[in-house]
Structure 1
Amino acid sequence: MYISNEGLLVILFVGLVAGWLAGKIVRGTGFGIIGDILVGIGGALVASFLFPKLGIRIGTGLVSEIIYSAIGAIILLLVVRLLRGRGRF
């Protein structure tokens, strides 16, 4: 799969927004704003590869990408916090 430079920038920008949003939604021990943003970028990358393969579609445009990425970041934050906290949220 080929990702253009512009596509990568969009994924990073959307990941920043989604990480901040996921950090606000998923509260707990916290990673701080920088950690949540990095997890958001990871969630955006996961969502950009995983959701199209699963056939999950919400719509088109930047808003739908932010929603996809926020969902991916929330899932990733929950998994990381679960592993970090040894089984507790």
Structure 2
Amino acid sequence: VRDTDGPDRLYVGVPTAGRSPKFALQALVSSLLQSASYLKDKRSGDPRHVDPYWTCVAYFNSLRELGGAHVLMQDDVPRQM
């Protein structure tokens, strides 16, 4: 049975062929946050659709992965943006 009344969800898979998963995560998060910055600056479309908290949700399988991503988010993501 398909739920046609609730909110939609979009799942996206990102291949990491030839790159490490950390590099792919860094590139993806940088791109998402840069796009949010662009929308905020240009005010294109309806500004209510831009998340004022710049929320980017990521799920990890272990605390070790989370710890590595935390360092990545602090160092590499701002530099990439």
Please indicate, yes or no, whether the TM-score normalized by the shorter chain is above 0.5.
no
Which TM-score bucket, shorter chain as reference? 0.3 to 0.5
Higher RCO (C-alpha under 8 Å, 6+ residues apart): 2
Q: How high is the TM-score relative to the length of structure 2?
A: 0.36
TM-score of the aligned structures, taking structure 1 as reference length? 0.34
The structure with more radius of gyration = 2
